Structure 1
C-alpha cells in the first residue's frame, strides 16, 4: 500500500483534474474554440444552433465568479482572450446577440501584480550571498542585470497565485535573449538554450501543417514536445514588455508603459508577425539566390533548384506575362516559403549553405516553426505568447545565420 502522503497527493490531483473539467471558464473557451474551428471550414454562423447560443450565454454568465477565473493559469486566460476575440466575427448574427453581449461584459479578474520592492530586495540579497555567484563575476553581472530588468517592468507580471513561476519564467526569457543576441546563430550553446526553451524537436514526426491552424492542437503539440510554459505564462502586454527587455523588438507599437488592452495587442501582434515573416522570406530568397548564383552563375535555376519547383515558378511567370501583368524581378520571387528549405536541403546543395547553418537539423526545425506561424497568420489565428516567442527566437536565428555581420535588430 502506498504511503498516506502519496494517496493524499493523488486524491488532490484528481480533485484538481475534476475542477478543471467543470470550470465554466474552461468550458467557455472550449465552446468558442469549437465555433472557431467550424467557421474556419466555411460554415456560416447562422447554421449553428440556438442551443449552442444558449450554452454560450450560460457559460459567459457563469464566469462572472472570480473563483472560476482564479482557477485559470495565465496561458489559459490568454487562450480565453483569443477565443473571445475570434468570436467577434459572429456578433452580427441574431442567434448570438445575447451571448456576445455577455462576453462583451466579461472583465477578467486581476491575475497579476507588480514585483514588490521587498521581493526585489530579497532577490538581490540572495544573489549577493549565493556562493556560486560570488565566485563567478559573469554570473553576478547577469544577476544584477536581471534585477534591473525586473525593476523596469511596468506591466503587472507576477502571478498572484504562483510568483515563483513568474520570476523563473522571466529569468529564463532574459537568458534566452542574452544568449541569442550575443553569440553566433546555431552555435552549440545557442541551440542548447533554444531547445531548453522551446522544446527539442529533433527526430519528431511532424503532423500535417494544416493541423496547426487549430490553436488547441498547436498548443497541445508544443506542450507535449517540451516548451517551457513558464516562459509564456504572462499576460500579453507583460510578455511583450519582458521580451523587449530581453532584447527583442516587441510585436506591438502600443506604449507598454501605460495600461493596455490585451485583445487589441493580439490583433496588432498578428499584423506585426505578418510583416516580420515577409521580411524573413524576402531576405531568405535573396540569400539563397546569391549562394546559388555564386556556385552556378547563370545556370543557378537549372542546377540548384529542384525541377518541380522551378517548373511551378516558370508557370507562374508565364501566367503573369500572358495576363499582361509585370513579371516579378527574378524567378526566385515566385518561391513560396515552403520552397526555401526544399532548395537548401538536398545533399548536392547543402554544402553551399552549411557555412551559415552549421547544424542542419536545427535549421530545419527553425523553418518548420516559422512555417507553422506563417500558416496561422494566413488563417487569421490570433497568435498567443507561445507563437510570438517562437517567431522572435527562430526569426532571430535564421536572420542571424544569413546576415551574420548585421546588427541583430534585423527589422531596421
Structure 2
C-alpha cells in the first residue's frame, strides 16, 4: 500500500524519508504478524514445558524483531503529525505481549533446567567423591577378601562380617594401624577366613594350605634354615617377610591382633601377655608386648602339642606294630638316637621311659612322612606330606628360641597359633580305618 502511495503522489525529500521509515516499520509489523501466526497455535507456557530445551535460534529471532521495533519507535518519536505518530506507533500489542511472555517463560525454564541439571551433577559428584563411612569401608574390604578366598566351600561366610566388626571394635577404639587401616582390615579378615576354615574343615586340605601360605608365607621349598633365625628375633622377622608373611599383620597393634585371633578360633582366649593402658581422658591407648611372657605362653603351647603328637604317633603305630614300631617304622638315624637317649637316661637316673618319650621335635615330621607310615596311617589326616612337613619347618625356629629362653615376637606367635591349631585339629579328626570304611559302605 505504501508503495502505491509513493508512486501516486509527488513527495518532497522529507516525506520520502518518512514513508521509507514507515515502510520499514510495516516490515517489522509484518514480521510480528508472522511470529504471531507461528506462536499462536500453541500456548506459550505449555510449549515451553514440553520442550525441555528451547529453540535458541527461534528465541533469537523473536528478540531481534522486538529490538528492531523499538528502534523504529525511537526513530518516529520526533514526528509532529499526530496521525503519522499514531500510525507508526500503533503496534500489535497482542503479538508483542505473547512474544515477550514466551521469551520470559522460556528463559526462566531454561534457567530452571540449568539449575536442576547443575544440582543433579553436584549430587552425582558428591556420591562419587564422598568419603565412605567406616562401616562401609569395613564391610567392603571384608567382602572383597572373602570373595577372593578359596575357602568359601569350607567355612560359612555369613558370620565373618559380624565377627570382623567385633574384632576391630569398629571405630570406638583405635586398634587398627592408623596409617594403613585398609591393610589392617584385610590382614585381619584373611586371618578370620583362615581360622574359620581350620576349625571347620580339614586343616591340611589344599585350600587351607594355600590360605595359610597367603598369611604366613610359602615355606614349601624351605629345606634348611639360616642359623641366625634360631637366635635373633629380627632375623626371624626378616626371614618371615622374605617368604611372604603378610606385612600388614606385622604392623597391627597387639590388642587388635589378639582380639582377631580369639574371634577366629585360633586361640581359646585373649592372652594376658599384652598390657593395655588407657590414659585418663580415654584418648590414648598404649600397648606393650612382653617378649618373655610370649615365650612362656609358647612353651606351654608347644609342650601340649608335643604330648599330643607323641600320643597320636604312638597310638597309630603301636596299634598295628606294637612296641617294635620305634625300631621298625622310624628312620635309622632316629632309631639310633632313641636307643642312645634311653641308655643315657637309664645310666644317669637308673630308669628309662617308653621309647616314644625320647623323640625330639625334629623327629615327628620324618616319622609321619616316611612312605610306609604315610600310606598306612597318616595320609588321611594331613593330605600331603609336604604340607605337614612345612608346618614343622615353620615351628622349628620358634621352638628353638623357646627352649633357649629367648624372647618371642608377635610375628612368632602368629606362626605358633596357626600351626599348632592346624596340627591339633588334624590329629583330632575322626578318620575311619579301611575295615571301618568297608563295613560302613556295606
TM-score (norm 2): 0.57
The reply on whether 1:169 has 2:187 as its aligned counterpart is yes
Cα displacement (A) at 1:278? 0.7
Alpha carbons 2:381, 2:426 under 8 Å: kept: yes
Q: 1:292 to 1:261 in 2, by over 3 A?
A: farther
Q: 1:371 to 1:159 in 2, by over 3 A?
A: same
- CA distance in 2 between partners of 1:296 and 1:153 (Å): 58
Alpha carbons 1:211, 1:218 under 8 Å: kept: yes
In the other structure, the counterpart of 1:342 is 366
Cα displacement (A) at 1:124? 6.4
Q: CA offsets per residue over residues 110-159 of structure 1, 9 Å max, x none?
A: xxxxxxxx9443336758999x98xx9x6554323322333379864222
Match of 1:365 among 383, 390, 404: 390
- CA distance in 2 between partners of 1:318 and 1:154 (Å): 61
Q: CA offsets per residue over residues 211-243 of structure 1, 9 Å max, x none?
A: 432223222221111111112322333322221
Cα displacement (A) at 1:271? 0.3
Helix, strand or coil at the partner of 2:224: coil
- CA distance in 2 between partners of 1:125 and 1:341 (Å): 40
Match of 1:331 among 355, 379, 388: 355
In the other structure, the counterpart of 1:310 is 335
What are structure 2's unaligned runs of at least 5 residues? 1-131, 279-284, 432-442
- CA distance in 2 between partners of 1:213 and 1:128 (Å): 37
Match of 1:185 among 197, 203, 228: 203
Which region of structure 1 is more displaced relative to structure 2, 388-397 or 120-129?
Answer: 120-129
Structure showing greater relative contact order (alpha-carbon pairs closer than 8 Å, 6 or more residues apart): 1
RMSD value, Cα: 3.2
TM-score (norm 1): 0.61
- CA distance in 1 between partners of 2:187 and 2:302 (Å): 26
- CA distance in 2 between partners of 1:193 and 1:125 (Å): 21
Helix, strand or coil at the partner of 2:371: coil
Alpha carbons 2:141, 2:186 under 8 Å: kept: no
In the other structure, the counterpart of 2:306 is 281
Alpha carbons 1:277, 1:374 under 8 Å: kept: yes
How many residue pairs were aligned?
284
Match of 1:252 among 249, 261, 271: 271
Cα displacement (A) at 1:393? 0.7
Helix, strand or coil at the partner of 1:179: helix
In the other structure, the counterpart of 1:199 is 217
The reply on whether 1:123 has 2:137 as its aligned counterpart is yes
- CA distance in 2 between partners of 1:313 and 1:287 (Å): 18
- CA distance in 2 between partners of 1:281 and 1:140 (Å): 35
Alpha carbons 2:277, 2:287 under 8 Å: kept: no
The reply on whether 1:292 has 2:317 as its aligned counterpart is yes
Cα displacement (A) at 1:300? 1.3
- CA distance in 1 between partners of 2:369 and 2:363 (Å): 10
Cα displacement (A) at 1:269? 1.2
Cα displacement (A) at 1:258? 6.0
Alpha carbons 1:179, 1:193 under 8 Å: kept: no
Q: 1:333 to 1:251 in 2, by over 3 A?
A: farther
Q: 1:187 to 1:128 in 2, by over 3 A?
A: closer
What are structure 1's unaligned runs of at least 5 residues? 1-117, 407-412
